């Protein structure tokens, strides 16, 4: 085991911070320790509940999202939050302006759902996904109509919820 690796516990839950490559994830355990874990030793929770993802903040409204993104001040900083439309979600995204004046813009994108079955999610109609996490993962690598790629998730404000994770060791 390397010093930057994180020890795995059977049944333990981990917050995946970054999918570094197909073999390794950077993760945080319940004690707040961070390191690398082998991707083939963990399985994703099979839940539609977004609270397990570091980029989701349930109790953040539009104004609070803008405040947090400005404070972060990083190109591609983003939050996925509950929309003001009940049952819907919004991606709030921070991007530097191209004018070179040091300015920034914050855009809010509603995550839309297809009307037909199977239900799919999208920000741009040409790019449909089976789940919101899949949509977020795609837009981390492709702007595809957004002002910037989703590069830097702005952490949860509810620190207690942050200890729950989207991945666990030894469970299928």
Q: Which residues lie below 8 Å from residue 29, measured CB to CB, with a gap of 6+? A: 6, 7, 9, 12, 14
pLDDT tens sequence across 26-66: 888 888 889 999 888 877 654 457 887 889 998 899 999 99
- Model pTM? 0.63
Q: Which CATH superfamily is domain 56-153 in?
A: SH2 domain (3.30.505.10)
pLDDT at position 126:
82
Q: Does domain 1-42 have CATH number 3.20.20.10?
A: no
pLDDT tens sequence across 107-128: 999 999 888 777 789 998 788 9
Domain extents for the chain? 1-42, 56-153
pLDDT tens sequence across 13-26: 787 888 777 788 88
Q: What is the mean pLDDT of the chain?
A: 82
- Are 124 and 144 in contact by the 8 Å Cβ rule? The answer is yes
Say if residue 172 is preceded by a cis peptide, omega within 30 of 0. no
Phi first, then psi: give them for residue 91, nearest 5 degrees. -100, 120
pLDDT at position 99:
65
Q: Which residues lie below 8 Å from residue 157, measured CB to CB, with a gap of 6+? A: 57, 59, 60, 64, 68
Alpha-carbon span 21 to 71, nearest angstrom? 29
Confidence class of residue 71 from pLDDT cuts 50, 70 and 90? very high
| Distances in whole angstroms, Cα of residue 38 to Cα of each of 1, 5, 12, 45 | 11, 9, 14, 16
pLDDT at position 115:
82
Stronger pLDDT, 44 or 73, i.e. the higher one: 73
- Distance in angstroms between the alpha carbons of the first and the last residue of the chain: 24
pLDDT at position 39:
84
- Cα atoms in the Cβ-side hemisphere of radius 13 Å centred on 131: 11
Q: Which two tokens stand for residue 122?
A: 């999208």
- Cα atoms in the Cβ-side hemisphere of radius 13 Å centred on 107: 16
Q: In this structure, how many other beta carbons lie within 10 angstroms of the beta carbon of residue 39?
A: 17
């Amino acid at each position: 085991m390397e010093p930057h690796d994180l020890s795995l516990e059977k049944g333990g839950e981990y917050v995946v911070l970054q999918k570094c490559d197909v073999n390794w994830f950077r993760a945080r355990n319940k004690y707040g320790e961070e390191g690398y874990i082998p991707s083939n030793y963990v399985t994703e929770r099979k839940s539609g509940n977004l609270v397990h993802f570091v980029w989701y903040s349930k109790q953040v409204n539009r104004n609070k999202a803008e405040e947090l993104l400005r404070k972060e001040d990083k190109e591609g900083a983003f939050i996925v939050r509950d929309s003001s439309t009940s049952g819907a979600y919004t991606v709030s995204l921070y991007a530097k302006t191209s004018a070179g004046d040091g300015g920034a813009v914050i855009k809010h994108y509603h995550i839309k759902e297809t009307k037909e079955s199977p239900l799919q999610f999208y920000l741009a109609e040409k790019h449909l996904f089976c789940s919101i996490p899949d949509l977020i993962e795609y837009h981390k690598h492709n702007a595809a109509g957004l002002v910037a790629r989703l590069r830097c998730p702005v952490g949860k404000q509810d620190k207690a919820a942050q200890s729950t994770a989207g991945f666990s060791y030894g469970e299928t």
